[in-house]
Amino acid sequence: MKKPETYLDLIEGWVLLVDKPITWTSFDVVNKLKGHLKGLKKVQPEEWRDRNVKIGHAGTLDPLATGLLVVCVGKKTKELDQLQTGVKTYTGTIHMGQVTPSYDLETTPTGNFRFEQLALEDYKKIAASFLGEQWQTPPVFSAKQINGKRAYEFAREGIEVEMKKSLIEIFDFQITRCQPPEIDFDITCSKGTYIRTIAHEFGQRLNSGSYLQSLRRTKSLPFDVKDAISVEEWCDFFWKWKNNEK
């Protein structure tokens, strides 16, 4: 992917495409890159040093998800809301037979739900049932703001809160591998879709139980993870730039 060539490029605005690693929060990524931008600022021409470079991300990824994270710097941060609206594509794995409070592996799986009676066509039929516009309830273990606190803070304290539904749309949902208890999928959806909720309801619609075992974002239009590089590669790029090795 094309990288910024001057500090002025960053000030005027740039989009950094990051392949987020597992366990990192989106904030972790932004914070790491922000530290390198501050270090870079110290070695810039005098007339640029007093110009701060803002940074932010467009579209949060859960800690246990990997893949495309769109990071904006400089004047591009004014476009964050606009860039978040792009259609998203994910690949992942749904695990059948158990459920978790967070709908993924952030919390411990429990239960022993039957799924041996299900065939590939059953999974495909249920995937197709998700297509179209629908109202979706976010997981209680989510970053949704409720009375100034994140929903997951209430969840971890055992406090029940009402999660407001959001209107989302599923454009495509394909089963790509069927080896129960693991069901691999590709899904294309609108902004604001919680794939964890899809994974949880997937089992419910099959009269069973399920949770999201893994997730990777491959596209957030118009961007593609094929054009992204790792956090370490971005940090190495800025470190070499700071030390005149770029």
Catalytically annotated residue among 9, 19, 62, 184: 62
- Cα separation, 199 vs 119, in Å, equals 17
Task: Give me the residue label for tokens 């949060």.
Answer: 60
Nearest to 217 by CA among 86, 55, 35: 86
Q: Is the peptide bond before 181 cis (omega within 30 degrees of 0)?
A: yes
DSSP symbol at 5: -
Exposed, middle or buried: residue 207 (CB in 10 Å: 0-12, 13-18, 19+)?
Answer: exposed
Nearest to 212 by CA among 203, 220, 221, 225: 203
Is the backbone of residue 217 left (phi > 0), alpha (psi -120 to 50) or beta? beta
| Two structure tokens written together for 244 | 């005149």
- Cα separation, 136 vs 151, in Å, equals 16
- Cα separation, 9 vs 161, in Å, equals 44
Q: Is 62 a catalytic residue?
A: yes
Q: Which helix (H) or strand (E) holds 236?
A: helix 231-242
- The catalytic residues are 62
